[in-house]
């Protein structure tokens, strides 16, 4: 079992940057694919980005490609999300998630992830 906890959310102006972090408390961190999801007010949860166990494969939802970067440090059990050129529509609760690795890639689907954090809030003002 993996426990994950996100931090780094906050209030930022449109066009600004914010970095989210997630720490996982488990041995064998590199047995898991990791992902970031978000839920905007009044909307369904959506996948933002995922990263394979090795970090060699990443996938992003279309709206954040070129602006967000997911990365991981397996030695430190850490997951990161660098967010740049933020837009008001990026405002959401952001969740870190872990799921068992099943190959060299990841899939940005909620059902692939079993362990979820409590979320960290990101607000982008216009």
Q: Where are the alpha helices (DSSP H) in the chain?
A: none
Q: What is the DSSP string of 25-44?
A: ESTTGGGEEEEEEEE-TTS-
Q: Is residue 1 very low, low, confident or very high in pLDDT (cuts 50, 70, 90)?
A: confident
State residue 28's pLDDT score: 87
- The tens digit of pLDDT for each residue in 44-96 reads 999 999 999 999 999 999 999 999 999 999 999 999 999 999 999 999 999 99
- The tens digit of pLDDT for each residue in 15-38 reads 999 999 999 997 789 999 999 999
Mean residue pLDDT of the chain comes to 96
């Amino acid at each position: 079992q993996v426990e994950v906890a996100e931090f780094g959310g906050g209030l930022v102006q449109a066009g600004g940057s914010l970095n989210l972090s997630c720490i996982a408390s488990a041995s064998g961190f590199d047995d898991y694919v990791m992902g970031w999801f978000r839920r905007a007010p009044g909307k369904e949860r959506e996948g933002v980005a995922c990263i394979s166990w090795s970090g060699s494969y990443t996938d992003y939802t279309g709206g954040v490609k070129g602006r967000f970067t997911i990365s991981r440090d397996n030695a430190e059990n850490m997951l990161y999300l660098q967010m740049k050129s933020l837009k008001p529509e990026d405002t959401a609760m952001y969740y870190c998630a872990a799921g068992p690795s099943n190959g060299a890639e990841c899939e940005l689907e909620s059902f692939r992830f079993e362990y979820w954090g409590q979320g960290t809030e990101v607000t982008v003002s216009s």
